[in-house]
Structure 1
Amino acid sequence: MTGFTSIRGTTALVGVLGEPVQHSLSPVMQNAALQTMGLDWAFLALPAPAAELAAVVRGLEAMNCRGLNVTIPHKQAVAELCRELSPLAQQLGAVNTLVPIAGGGWHGTNTDVEGFCAPLRRGASNWSGKRAVVLGCGGSARAVVAGLVQLGFNDIQLAGRRPEALAAFLADCQPWAPQLQALPWSSDGLALAGALNQASLVVNTTPVGMASASNPQAAEACPLSDRHLAALQPSCWVYDIIYTPRPTQLLQRAASRGCRSLDGLDMLVEQGAAALRLWSGRNDVPVEVMRQALLEQLP
């Protein structure tokens, strides 16, 4: 059961906006959920070039679209097109979910944070006071840091190779994440190794190790060197938000050190389930059906 059984004149539209978006797995898991829930909706991947984003969003509102996910590169730009923003979306400056407002317009929010946190809450009952190291300071790292703040981490170190990007990230986030510190990722790697040795959780937000049909060899890469991997304690959790391949090189090598691991598949499922709850107003979203639909799709 991986999708809707039929499309009728009454079928309503939900979807994901991005550019490119044809590779998205969201239709696989969302249509499986819609069928299970008995909703006469169809979820589509909807290409939206940046120059046409405003027109696409307005047109979908006029078509009575029931809800939208937003992926790269539009998470920041679409915030400007919302009638209102949730406090979390305002804090992050990024929107990944649009919910129609009665009377017109879109409510913009962000379910990436909930998607990131859900597997960690299942894995351990209390993260309060723990230390985390986040690899990378791109767009995904912002939701990860917000999730770590929600979970109660009191020491969050952000490792980045580009000093300018690292400084800009900290300037944006420290007002709501005062426990966030910069961790230069230098060629010798000594500072990073020391931080990894003390970490309860390491999160990879970089694309290093992510395979694709056009570049399967990328799966052999690992964001951490052997020295860095040797610094991990067996009690540490390692969370790679990549889910192709499963497991990534990082998670394979961390597991050989005795570390517990999480990948990005659960994050993808949980953020999608949170969005579907908002669109449908229902709490019976079949998370396991969504996860199984993705597992059947992935190699």
Structure 2
Amino acid sequence: MANYTDGNTSVCGLIGNPVRHTLSPLIHNMLAEITGINMVYVPFEVPQGNVPEAVKGALALGVRGLNVTIPYKSDVIPYLEDIDPLAKGIGAVNTLVRTSNGGFKGYNTDMTGLYRSLLDEGVELKGKIVVILGAGGVARPAAFLCGSKGASKVYILNRTFERAKDVAEEVNRALYEYNNNEPMTADGLSAEGEPTDIPSIVVPMRIEDYRNLFELKEKFVSLQCTSVGLFPDVNSAVVEDKEFYEHVNVGVDMVYRPIETKFMKLVKESGGKAVSGLKMLLYQAIDAYELWFNNDEDAPSEKINITKEQAEEIYRSLVMEVTGARNIILEGFMGSGKTTVSEILADKLELELLDTDAAIVEAEGRSINDIFAVDGEEAFRDMETALLETAVSEHFRDMVISLGGGLPLREENRQLLGQMGKVIYLRTKPETVYERVKFDDSRPLLKSDNPLEKIKKMQEERGDIYELSADYIIDTDELTPSQIADRIIQELGIDI
């Protein structure tokens, strides 16, 4: 997606190291398009030790706002003019917003994004028991968020108990300072030197003692804050015991590659609600975007408030990107149902539809029969290749693409398809194809005294090639077009 830029274009971006595989540009540039704001978002990879120069340079260049990712979420704090209380309590910022004094104020939308993703799923933290798996970098801010939103108890389970204990003490102390709006001395006294009543909301626990949680009188919210389950370790979960998941009402996995982790599958199998960390990624970006464009004199006359429907549109694009299905591409023999199924898919997923045959006919201003008769089949195949090359060079995305039956035959085309998205082969028996197309005289390759034998011969020639280029194969003979579309959505994991 390319935004139009001119002398009035605002620039926002991301600083971190590394940043080359970030999904943030996809989210923010879609937000700019949806809201009609003249803005582009770009990642900036900042070498270690250059954070002060990066902040100073962004201010000097008029960068409107920045996101901050690892490893600089704490390093950037000394170079800010101000910091939001929640970010201060968490001890990390991920969003910088320009102030009227010409500096940056730091916010933490990672955690507000997590909270917003929970609310989006109908989950409120107030009065709930929360179980956090892991005591790493994500666990501390997650525990602080839960405590600040009124969770009755937050358990941190970790293999190293001392680490869980340290995090629990840090968060309980930070919650006291946040709730009382006053700092605490190193030895636990108030600013006036009085003893403080530090809350004990956050409780450390050895992960092997998780069965003790079964004695709780209510189901809990579980936040999976480790890297276990991250691709390629897709068949692992921190806790494998299915009994644990019977006590989980809602499970959120901070990992979002794969889109459905082993942890999430176990939650679902036990009847709980599973939420991908991709939702948190989306909403932290939305919160940052709203902060950038709702907070100064240049803000739009109407406050930006991204709707649930708009968020879902972006989320679909994120899921397709993460699963590698930035485009859904249907291949198969004539009569396999590509045209009808592609229309249903595009409607269900609210995606643009591209039929390669129809696109070539429109560009040429003549039918495929005419192209074959005048220029020959090879010229038509060249047109197909040129169309794919355009799709790759222009970064086509969020499309359902229905391919002409012969398009995948060229190796060059198959390589281009691999760059464009996920290819689904709609496999259909020759007899089914014949029944569907026997009265269609627009098929130049079926000009034969015995069309069924021609179909069988062509399928024998093409079947292996279709399978070679396919990411998924769906046998269509016993399925309706709508059922085929649902199967594709299920296979790709984009049923949201």
TM-score relative to the length of structure 2: 0.55
How much does 1:145 deviate?
1.3
Is residue 195 from structure 1 mapped to residue 188 from structure 2 by the alignment? no
Moved more, 78-87 or 172-181: 172-181
- Does 2:246 match 1:224? no
Aligned to 1:74, which of 72, 75, 100? 72
| Structure 1 residue 283 corresponds to structure 2 residue 298 | no
Candidates 53, 56, 62, aligned match of 2:54: 56
In the TM superposition, what is the alpha-carbon distance from 1:50 to its structure 2 partner? Answer: 2.4
Q: What CA distance in whole angstroms lies between the structure 2 residues aligned with 1:93 and 1:20? A: 21
1:207 aligns with 2:227: yes
Q: Is the 8 A contact 2:12 2:63 kept in 1?
A: yes
Task: Answer with 30-39 or 161-170: which moved more.
Answer: 161-170
Instruction: Give me the whole-angstrom Cα distance separating, in 1, the residues matched to 2:117 and 2:215.
Output: 23
Does 2:273 align with 1:254? no
2:31 to 27, 30, 33: 33
RMSD: 1.8
- How do residues 120-199 of structure 1 correspond to structure 2 at under 5 angstroms? 120-124=118-122, 126-175=124-173, 176=175, 178-185=200-207, 189=208, 191-195=209-213, 198=216, 199=219
Structure 2: how far apart are the matches of 1:289 and 1:231?
A: 34
* CA displacement, residues 189-238 of structure 1 (integer Å, 9 cap, x when unaligned): 2x212226634111101011111xxxx3x122211123xx3233266211
Deviations for 1:12-56, whole angstroms, at most 9, x for unmatched residues? 210111111111101111101111211111101111122111101
Partners of 2:268 and 2:215 lie apart in 1 by: 15
- Per mean C-alpha deviation after superposition, the further-off stretch among 267-276 and 172-181 is 172-181
Is there any run of 5+ residues in structure 1 with no aligned partner, and where? none
Amino acid in the other structure paired with 2:238 = P
Map 1:89-100 onto structure 2 (within 5 A): 89-100=87-98
Encode CA deviations 1:42-73: one digit per residue, 9 max, x unaligned. 10111112211110111011011010111111
Write the letter of the residue equivalent to 1:290: I
- The higher relative CO (CA closer than 8 Å, separation ≥ 6) is in 1
Query: Which ranges in structure 2 are unaligned for 5 or more consecutive residues?
Result: 176-198, 295-302, 324-496
What's 1:14 paired with? 12
3-state SS of paired residue (1:148): helix
Q: What amino acid is aligned across from residue 221 of structure 1 in structure 2?
A: S
Identity of aligned residues (%): 27
1:125 is displaced (CA, Å) by 5.7
Moved more, 122-131 or 167-176: 122-131
TM-score if structure 1 supplies the norm length? Answer: 0.90
Matched residue SS, 1:46: strand
Q: CA deviation at 1:88?
A: 0.8
Task: Check whether the contact 2:172–2:202 (CA below 8 A) recurs between aligned residues.
Answer: yes
One-letter identity of the residue aligned with 1:237: V
**Alignment partner of 2:22 out of 21, 24, 48:** 24
Match for residue 277 of structure 2?
264
Structure 2 vs 1, CA of residues 196 and 71 (structure 1 numbering), >3 Å: closer, same or farther?
Answer: farther
Instruction: Report the Cα distance in structure 2 between the residues aligned to 1:126 and 1:28, rounded to whole angstroms.
Output: 29
- Assess, with a 3 A threshold, how the Cα gap between structure 1 residues 140 and 196 changes in structure 2: closer, same or farther: farther
Q: Secondary structure at the match of 1:271?
A: helix
Contact 2:109 2:284 survives alignment (8 Å) = yes
Segments of 4+ moved more than 4 angstroms: none
Residues 95 and 108 in structure 2, CA contact (< 8 A), matched pair in contact too: yes
> 2:82–2:105: 8 Å Cα contact kept in structure 1?
yes
Encode CA deviations 1:58-106: one digit per residue, 9 max, x unaligned. Answer: 1011011010111111111111110111111111110110001122111
1:149 Cα shift? 1.9
Secondary structure of 2:246's counterpart equals coil
Contact 1:32 1:293 in 2 (8 A): no
> Equivalent residue of 1:142, what SS?
helix
Q: CA–CA distance in 1 between the matches of 2:246 and 2:215?
A: 6
